[in-house]
């Protein structure tokens, strides 16, 4: 009998811990509502974790940076994302696969993607395209920038040869 009582207490304790953990996790996520004006047949919004810099764009379930996808539609779809973490959003349109590969693969995906950071619930709506790069409207608690922003911290030589505002205004010929 004592063993059964002990097992019940341990089970009750584990259930309590699981409930507390799920409340903590839900407090650290926000909902991003994604949509595209006019819809997009057979297309998806794919999400990649950019918290460690530029992600790899392997979209196989279980891949290191892949966070999942939602179908692209005019009505929209919700995706729960971590608050305060940079996430790259890519609109995958199967008919453009060849042109993405021909234009450089990951670099081209990054050029066509957005990087978002949520601080609360938000919406992101694609309104059109300019040179195959989506244009968007964002509302709510969201910071949006081009996905190429992740490249600044990756390659120290990427900004080589560029003057900062401070260097340009110093007037020092030896700078």
Tell me the mean pLDDT in the region 24-28: 54
Write the pLDDT tens digit of every residue in 160-170.
Answer: 332 333 333 33
- Confidence (pLDDT) at 82: 94
3-state secondary structure of 155: coil
Q: Where are the domains of the chain?
A: 29-154
For the entire predicted model, the pTM comes to 0.67
pLDDT of 104 strictly over 80: no
User: 82: which 2 tokens?
Assistant: 């971590």
- Tell me how far apart the alpha carbons of residues 95 and 138 are, in angstroms, rounded to a whole number: 26
- Tell me how far apart the alpha carbons of residues 142 and 56 are, in angstroms, rounded to a whole number: 23
Write the pLDDT tens digit of every residue in 30-72.
Answer: 999 999 887 777 888 899 999 988 888 888 888 889 999 999 8
Kind and range of the H or E element at 154?
none
pLDDT of 139 strictly over 70: yes
- Confidence (pLDDT) at 39: 76
């Amino acid at each position: 009998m004592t063993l059964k009582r002990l097992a019940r207490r341990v089970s009750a304790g584990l259930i309590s811990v699981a409930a507390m953990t799920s409340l903590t996790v839900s407090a650290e996520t926000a909902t991003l509502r994604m949509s595209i004006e006019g819809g997009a047949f057979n297309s998806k919004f794919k999400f990649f974790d950019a918290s460690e810099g530029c992600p790899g764009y392997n979209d196989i379930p279980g891949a290191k940076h892949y966070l999942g996808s939602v179908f692209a539609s005019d009505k929209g779809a919700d995706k729960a994302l971590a608050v305060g973490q940079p996430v790259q959003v890519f609109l995958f349109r199967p008919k453009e696969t060849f042109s993405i590969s021909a234009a450089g693969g990951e670099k081209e995906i990054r050029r066509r993607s957005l990087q978002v950071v949520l601080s609360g619930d938000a919406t992101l709506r694609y309104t059109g395209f300019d040179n195959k790069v989506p244009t968007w409207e964002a509302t709510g608690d969201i910071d949006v920038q081009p996905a190429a922003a992740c490249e600044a911290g990756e390659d120290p030589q990427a900004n080589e040869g560029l003057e900062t505002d401070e260097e340009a205004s110093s007037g020092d010929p030896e700078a």
